[in-house]
Structure 1
Amino acid sequence: MSDRPVLIYDGDCGFCTRSVRIAVRLPVRMRVQPWQEADLDELGTDESRARREVLWVDTAGRVSGGAEAVAALLKSSRVPWPVLGHLASAPLIRTLAARTYRWIADNRHRLPGTTPACQLPPDQRPRSTS
């Protein structure tokens, strides 16, 4: 496994990229990588999941996705962020967070910072060949 957790995101999505730029300001040691350039097999996940949601792979190799990944990122940070991560993991809030995340992910092509790639169906978005 890795000595640092890995945050995997959609590098073709402008909204996702802007969101990750905010996440990297958090006080947490992590590696950030677009799924298009990641060795997803080595990280314990696959392309269909990476296309659908942001992923957090902890140092033990556990993969969290969507709102759960965001909560895990926050919990891995320094005060005050872990408090928000634990709140987002609480039963009622976890359900609300998951629904909110899914709505944002499904509508990211309509949100600020989008690119033409965001507006294409996932199977037609540009992909890195590296």
Structure 2
Amino acid sequence: MRAKATVIFDGDCGFCTWCAGKLERWVKPPALIIPWQHADLDQLGVSQIQCEMALQWVPRDGAPAAGGRAITALLLASSPPWRAIGALLCLPGMAQLTD
């Protein structure tokens, strides 16, 4: 088990890097936020292709989540009010908005 969760983004994408910075500043999830280019993807259990396709959330233990599900998972792991927003994204019909 890892010490903390990990958020993996594409460090070659300017928008992705900007979003990761805002995520770190505003949401402050209990996770390491790192570009896939600097991550040990094998240890984290995700592939380069997965990371090129979508943001990845790798919990301390459990299966990774990608894209909108990754955003929902990291919000649920964060402090209020972000946790409440994550809970709203779990309501029926909301998952389609994040994917």
TM-score (ref. length: structure 2): 0.93
- Paired position in structure 2 for 1:52: 53
Unmatched 5+ residue regions in structure 1? 99-130
Q: Which amino acid aligns with 2:68?
A: A
Q: Which has the higher strand share?
A: 2
Aligned residue pair count? 98
Would the aligned equivalents of 1:56 and 1:65 in 2 still touch at CA under 8 Å?
A: yes
Using the aligned pairs only, state the percent identity: 36
Q: For residue 69 of structure 1, what is the aligned residue in structure 2?
A: 70
8 Å CA contact retained: 1:56, 1:73? yes
> CA RMSD of the aligned region, Å?
1.1
Q: Which amino acid aligns with 1:51?
A: E
Segments of 4+ moved more than 4 angstroms: none
CA gap of 1:36–1:13, structure 2 versus 1, over 3 A, is: same
Cα separation, 1, equivalents of 2:92 and 2:30: 27
Q: Which residues in structure 2 correspond to 1:37-116 (within 5 Å)?
A: 37-98=38-99
Distance (whole Å) between structure 1 residues aligned to residue 69 and residue 78 of structure 2? 14
Unaligned runs of 5+ in 2: none
The AA in structure 2 aligned to 1:18 is: W
> Relative to structure 2, which stretch is displaced further, 20-29 or 37-46?
20-29
Q: Distance in 2 between matches of 1:86 and 1:36?
A: 31
